[in-house]
């Protein structure tokens, strides 16, 4: 039995590999989209100071001495800083003002540093979870540099002997800083907005996964039109072989797409000058998400393939359905830039379910329980499509 | 071999195709099934190959009911559809290997593939993409796939449509050889000369009913065509006393039609002479399948 299934799988793979258009649509198109869309945003950032990564600043104490010293913080190279007078709701500010981080300077912090006294409260940096590690590293290095300057400032003015004791060594060494070890408390804030690469990779991956409708339906319709299906149905084997023979190869193809597209996000996009996609420990959750999306894409493709009569119909119906689902579902236009009404409509697109599931894994460090609602929706619709596809297949060639 | 009894079948739109239909095909025969489009040939094949299920009646193959032993019977049966039922993008060999390995009953697929290639003369084309073969070679590949399981019953649905005379000759010879080797063949075609050349038994069906069936030689010798030409025009009143006058076509001084035997011809000639006609020409010979077919199914063009 397994030999028969392997024989069918071999045939399906051979047919897909011989279909150059299918390979272009399934692999090259999404790679190109991911690269282009991921690079488009960083390119515009570099040209405009306002588009540089935004940082918020909150000073708990608004004394003159602290404020004047704090000027250094507002000039962090490579960042656009914005002061906030209201000290509450750090989380909302990060979300609403699209900040990559918020720096909170506690009361008397600068004064205590300059007087070489122990600090009571640490300087705190709150990150958006979408902030890449390179930016975090750069920001921390800049902050530590400023803190070191605050520590040195008063001493330089007060004592020439300090310089004689080897200022250079102390300035560059860690001892000066370690006297008042600055530990930065990091807190993650749930973000609504993914980075360009976090948006592009899953979005275009899902889009391409749904395009299995083209090779699947083309093969199936050719079988139907050429009488091959009639011949297959007169063989002494169950219909289930042919159904699994269709489903399994395309699940494998979808999983290959998933691995390839994430590799593009992780390696190719940064090599081309964009931000790298980063995976956390929960990356294994991408597998059940991909499988669920894949099952729906294949079930929908099978339903279309069984119901239509020509490859033209399949290509048109499949293509238009994919484009509509993608446009509505936040693939082409991210949902966070959509007006509220469209955001609500977006929730009805299965592509949006898949995208939300991926973003829950990538952006919110979600658990399996967090992606279960999306998985359940995808699998439920998949079951409905598959049911109607099987019923139609059973009746095929009878009338 | 095949026994169809009291078959009733209607499509889902309640269009009744067969009602109390019966047919027997003997083991080892080369059975020609003919009929106009829409007569029910394809539906009958779909029922025998298990694509459709009858609402009533039974189909038995080798004494076993198809509905009860479908997989066992289908292992020894093969259907070659009219269409090119293979994958155009795969090579001849890939197609044969794929279809051969779908049979659990085939223990040595390489051997079966080799034999099918040999019988259909496809050896030199085995690495060519099926879609790039000529029409004749495609027909041969279609047949080769049908031979992979070495069927005891082979169903061929118009296997020579649209091919050159050489390929047709090759296929018909192969079919004849298969039948000689013991394969029962159910053959449908619109080419009457093919049926006459190949088949030992035939059935003409129309509107889901058997119009005529039996051994082809006996059927052809049962009726004979005649042609008589007289010197003067003939009218129906000249021959109306004849029992079989309704099967005679009169066109001025020419009469033609079908007669059962030479005795009827003599009776007709005598009648014409009694009416004062001088006979100029008489032709009388064995009937052709085509003329029988037209008489049974009418000459009007079908959809």
Domains and CATH numbers, chain A: 2-43+194-395 (no CATH), 50-127+130-188 (3.40.1710)
Q: Is B134 left (phi over 0), alpha (psi -120 to 50) or beta?
A: beta
Most B CBs within 10 A among A7, A234, A392, hence the mutation to make, goes to: A234
pLDDT bucket at A304, cuts 50 / 70 / 90: very high
Question: Is 80 exceeded by the pLDDT of residue A72?
Answer: no
Determine the pLDDT at residue B247.
73
Instruction: Give Cα separations from A317 to A44, A164, A217 (angstroms).
Output: 36, 80, 11
B60-64, B80-84, B201-205, B298-302: segment of lowest average pLDDT: B298-302
Domains and CATH numbers, chain B: 2-215 (3.40.50.300), 224-286 (3.30.70)
Mean pLDDT calculated for residue range A198-213 = 93
Determine the pLDDT at residue B141.
96
Alpha carbon A329 to its chain centroid, in Å, reads 15
Average confidence score pLDDT of chain B: 89
Residues 9-48, chain A, touching B (beta carbon < 8 A): 10-11, 14-15, 18-19
pLDDT bucket at A41, cuts 50 / 70 / 90: low
B-chain residues near A11 (CB < 8 A): 87, 90, 94, 98
Q: Chain B: nearest CA to A398, how far in angstroms?
A: 6
Question: Is 80 exceeded by the pLDDT of residue B225?
Answer: no
A233–B51 C-beta distance less than 8 A = yes
| A101-105/A124-127 β-pairing | antiparallel
What is the total residue count of chain B?
A: 303
Mean pLDDT calculated for residue range B16-21 = 91
CA distance A306 to B245: 57
Determine the pLDDT at residue A258.
95
* pTM, two decimal places: 0.70
Determine the pLDDT at residue A170.
46
Question: Is 90 exceeded by the pLDDT of residue A116?
Answer: no
Question: Is 80 exceeded by the pLDDT of residue A11?
Answer: yes
Determine the pLDDT at residue A326.
93
Q: Chain B: nearest CA to A309, how far in angstroms?
A: 16
Determine the pLDDT at residue A81.
83
Determine the pLDDT at residue B277.
92
Q: What is the pLDDT of residues B240-281, one digit of tens each?
A: 887 776 678 888 898 888 777 778 888 889 889 988 999 998
Interface check A273 vs B, CB under 8 A: no
B-chain residues near A13 (CB < 8 A): none
Nearest residue in chain B measured CA to CA from A228: B85
B70–A227 C-beta distance less than 8 A = no
Residues of chain B above pLDDT 70, percent: 96
Q: Chain A: nearest CA to B287, how far in angstroms?
A: 36
Instruction: Give Cα separations from A135 to A138, A364, B38, B261 (angstroms).
Output: 5, 18, 75, 105
pLDDT bucket at A67, cuts 50 / 70 / 90: low
Q: Chain B: nearest CA to A217, how far in angstroms?
A: 14
pLDDT bucket at A398, cuts 50 / 70 / 90: low
B-chain residues near A222 (CB < 8 A): 87-88
Q: Which of B49, B88, B104 is nearest residue A234 as measured by Cβ atoms?
A: B49
A234–B87 C-beta distance less than 8 A = no
pLDDT bucket at A68, cuts 50 / 70 / 90: low
Interface check A230 vs B, CB under 8 A: yes
Mean pLDDT calculated for residue range A225-237 = 89
A133-137, A363-367, B144-148, B255-259: segment of lowest average pLDDT: A133-137
Nearest partner of A307 among A373, A211, A221, judged by Cα: A221
Average confidence score pLDDT of chain A: 81
Burial track A329-366 (b if 16+ CB lie within 10 A, e otherwise): bbbeebbeeeeeeeeeebeebbbbbbbbbbbbbbbbeb
- What is the radius of gyration, based on Cα positions, of chain B? 24
Determine the pLDDT at residue B199.
94
DSSP 8-class letter at B41: H
Interface check A240 vs B, CB under 8 A: no
Mean pLDDT calculated for residue range B110-115 = 95
Look at the alpha carbons of A273, A275, A277, A280 in this order and tell me if their dihedral is positive or negative. positive
A15–B89 C-beta distance less than 8 A = yes
CA distance A206 to A296: 11
pLDDT bucket at B80, cuts 50 / 70 / 90: very high
Nearest residue in chain A measured CA to CA from B52: A398
pLDDT bucket at A172, cuts 50 / 70 / 90: very low
Q: Hey, which residues does B206 pair with through a beta bridge?
A: B209
Most B CBs within 10 A among A222, A226, A245, hence the mutation to make, goes to: A226
Question: Is 60 exceeded by the pLDDT of residue B169?
Answer: yes
Neighbouring CB atoms inside 10 A of A281's CB total: 7
CA distance B179 to B188: 15
First and final CA of chain A: distance in angstroms? 30
Determine the pLDDT at residue B220.
77
Determine the pLDDT at residue A381.
97
CA distance A72 to A111: 15
Nearest residue in chain A measured CA to CA from B53: A398
Question: Is 50 exceeded by the pLDDT of residue A50?
Answer: yes
B98–A226 C-beta distance less than 8 A = no
Higher pLDDT, A129 or B129: B129
B75–A226 C-beta distance less than 8 A = no
- DSSP letter string over A68-130? HHTHHHHT-TT-EEEEES--S-HHHHHHHTT-SEEEEEPTTHHHHHHTTPPPSS--EEEE-TT
Interface check A226 vs B, CB under 8 A: yes
For residue A147, report the phi and psi dihedrals to the nearest 5 degrees. -60, -40
For the question of an ipTM over 0.85, the answer is no
Higher pLDDT, B128 or A113: B128
């Amino acid at each position: 039995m397994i030999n028969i299934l392997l024989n069918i799988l071999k045939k399906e793979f051979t047919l897909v590999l011989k279909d150059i258009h299918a390979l272009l649509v399934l692999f090259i198109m999404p790679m190109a989209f991911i690269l282009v869309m991921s690079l488009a945003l960083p390119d515009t950032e570099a040209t405009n100071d306002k588009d540089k990564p935004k940082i918020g600043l909150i000073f708990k104490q608004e004394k003159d001495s602290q404020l004047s010293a704090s000027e250094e913080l507002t000039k962090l190279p490579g960042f656009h800083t914005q002061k906030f007078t209201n000290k509450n709701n750090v989380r909302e500010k990060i979300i609403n003002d699209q900040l990559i981080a918020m720096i909170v300077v506690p009361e008397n912090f600068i004064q205590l540093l300059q007087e070489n006294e122990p600090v009571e409260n640490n300087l705190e940096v709150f990150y958006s979870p979408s902030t890449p590690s390179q930016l975090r590293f750069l920001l921390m290095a800049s902050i530590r540099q400023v803190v070191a300057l605050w520590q040195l400032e008063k001493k330089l003015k007060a004592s020439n002997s300090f310089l004689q004791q080897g200022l250079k060594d102390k300035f560059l060494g860690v001892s000066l800083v370690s006297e008042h070890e600055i530990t930065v408390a990091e807190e993650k804030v749930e973000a609504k907005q993914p980075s360009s690469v976090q948006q592009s990779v899953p979005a275009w991956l899902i889009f391409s996964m749904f395009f299995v409708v083209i090779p699947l339906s083309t093969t199936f319709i050719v079988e139907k039109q050429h009488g091959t299906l009639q011949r297959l149905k007169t063989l002494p084997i169950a219909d289930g072989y042919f159904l699994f023979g269709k489903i399994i190869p395309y699940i494998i193809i979808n999983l290959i797409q998933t691995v390839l597209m994430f590799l593009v996000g992780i390696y190719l996009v940064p090599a081309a000058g964009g931000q790298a996609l980063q995976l956390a420990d929960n990356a294994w959750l991408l597998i059940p998400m991909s499988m669920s999306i894949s099952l729906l894409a294949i079930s929908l493709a099978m339903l279309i393939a069984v119901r239509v009569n020509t490859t033209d119909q399949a290509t048109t119906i499949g293509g238009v359905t994919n484009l509509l689902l993608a446009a509505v579902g936040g693939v082409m236009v991210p949902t966070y830039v959509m007006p509220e009404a469209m955001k609500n409509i977006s929730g009805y697109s299965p592509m949006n379910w898949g995208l939300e599931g991926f973003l829950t894994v990538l952006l919110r460090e979600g658990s399996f329980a967090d992606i279960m609602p999306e998985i359940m929706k995808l699998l439920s619709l998949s079951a409905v499509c598959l049911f109607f596809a099987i019923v139609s297949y059973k009746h095929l060639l009878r009338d | 071999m095949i026994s169809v009894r009291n078959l009733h079948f209607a499509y889902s739109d309640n269009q009744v195709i067969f009602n109390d239909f019966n047919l027997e095909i003997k083991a080892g025969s080369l059975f020609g099934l003919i009929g106009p489009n829409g007569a029910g040939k394809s539906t009958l094949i779909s029922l025998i190959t298990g694509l459709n299920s009858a609402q009533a009646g039974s189909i038995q193959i080798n004494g076993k009911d198809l509905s009860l032993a479908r997989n066992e019977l289908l292992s020894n049966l093969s259907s070659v559809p009219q269409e090119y039922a293979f994958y155009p993008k795969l090579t001849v060999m890939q197609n044969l290997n794929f279809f051969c390995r779908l049979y659990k009953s085939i223990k040595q697929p390489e051997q079966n593939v080799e034999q099918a290639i040999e019988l259909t003369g496809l050896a030199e084309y085995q690495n060519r993409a099926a879609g790039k073969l000529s029409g004749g070679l495609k027909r041969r590949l279609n047949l080769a796939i049908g031979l992979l399981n070495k069927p005891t019953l082979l169903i061929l649905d118009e296997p020579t449509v649209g091919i050159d005379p050489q390929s047709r000759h090759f296929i018909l010879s192969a079919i004849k050889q298969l039948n000689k080797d013991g394969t029962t063949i159910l053959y449908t075609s619109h080419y009457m000369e093919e049926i006459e050349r190949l088949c030992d038994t035939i059935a003409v069906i129309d509107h889901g009913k058997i119009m005529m069936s039996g051994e082809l030689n006996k059927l052809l010798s049962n009726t004979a065509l005649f042609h008589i030409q007289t010197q003067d025009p003939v009218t129906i009143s000249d021959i109306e006393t004849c029992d079989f006058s309704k099967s005679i076509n009169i066109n001025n001084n020419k009469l033609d039609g079908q007669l059962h035997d030479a005795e009827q011809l003599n009776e007709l000639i005598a009648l014409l002479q009694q009416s004062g006609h001088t006979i100029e020409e008489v032709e009388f010979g064995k009937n052709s399948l085509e003329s029988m077919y037209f008489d049974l199914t009418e000459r009007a063009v079908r959809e």
